[in-house]
């Protein structure tokens, strides 16, 4: 793990991965929300300024974006598990914790009563791996370390 994440601020990267995974349920609910916006117009006789925005289209776009995001999270978790046997365990941890919403204790029980410290270490590695696989085109979850030793050298000769 050290060789892959050498110049990565692990804590900030893990926070980014937790944020994206934590939004999964909200996206799924938003995508599944049934729209009951179809209604008859009401007339109260008062003059109104013209409304040029199409809220029905915006609702549809928001729902499609939410559907894209929750599907993306599911696909990235699946991709984590397809690398090797070790990452299959990491994928299960992400699935249990963020998709099913289980506690760490219940997740560890499902993983052959994995010790708590081992589970915490694997969860950290799973979150880093998720951030590594997550597409940069959507959002770059990897936070690089600040390295003050890399200075530009100027010469005034």
Using CB atoms within 10 Å of the CB of residue 147, give its burial: 0 to 12 exposed, 13 to 18 middle, 19+ buried.
exposed
Could you give the C-alpha distances from 95 to 35, 59, 98, 122, in angstroms and in order?
29, 29, 6, 13
Alpha-carbon distance of 13 to 5, in angstroms, equals: 10
pLDDT tens for the chain, 157 residues long, are: 444 667 888 999 999 999 999 999 999 998 887 655 555 666 776 777 766 666 777 788 888 999 999 999 999 999 999 999 999 999 999 999 999 999 999 999 999 999 999 999 999 999 999 999 999 888 888 888 876 665 656 667 6
3-class DSSP state for residue 8? strand
Per-residue tokens: 15: 């926070």
| DSSP letters spanning 74-136 | HHHHHHHHTS-HHHHHHHHHHIIIIIS---HHHHHHHTTS--HHHHHHHHHHHHHHHHHHS-T
Stated as kind and residue range, the H or E segment containing 37 is none
Alpha-carbon distance of 19 to 13, in angstroms, equals: 10
């Amino acid at each position: 793990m050290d060789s892959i994440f050498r110049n990565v601020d692990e804590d900030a990267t893990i926070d980014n991965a937790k944020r994206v995974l934590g939004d999964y349920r909200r996206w799924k609910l938003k995508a599944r929300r049934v729209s009951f916006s179809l209604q008859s117009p009401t007339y109260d006789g008062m003059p109104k300024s013209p409304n040029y925005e199409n809220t029905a289209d915006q609702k549809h776009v928001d729902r499609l974006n939410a559907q894209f995001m929750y599907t993306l999270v599911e696909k990235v978790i699946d991709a984590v598990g397809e690398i090797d046997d070790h990452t299959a365990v990491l994928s299960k941890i992400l699935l249990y914790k963020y998709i099913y919403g289980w506690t760490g204790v219940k997740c560890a029980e499902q993983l052959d009563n994995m010790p708590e410290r081992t589970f915490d270490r694997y969860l950290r590695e799973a979150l880093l791996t998720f951030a590594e696989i997550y597409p940069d085109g959507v959002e770059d979850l990897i936070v690089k370390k600040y390295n003050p030793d890399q200075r530009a050298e100027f010469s005034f000769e």
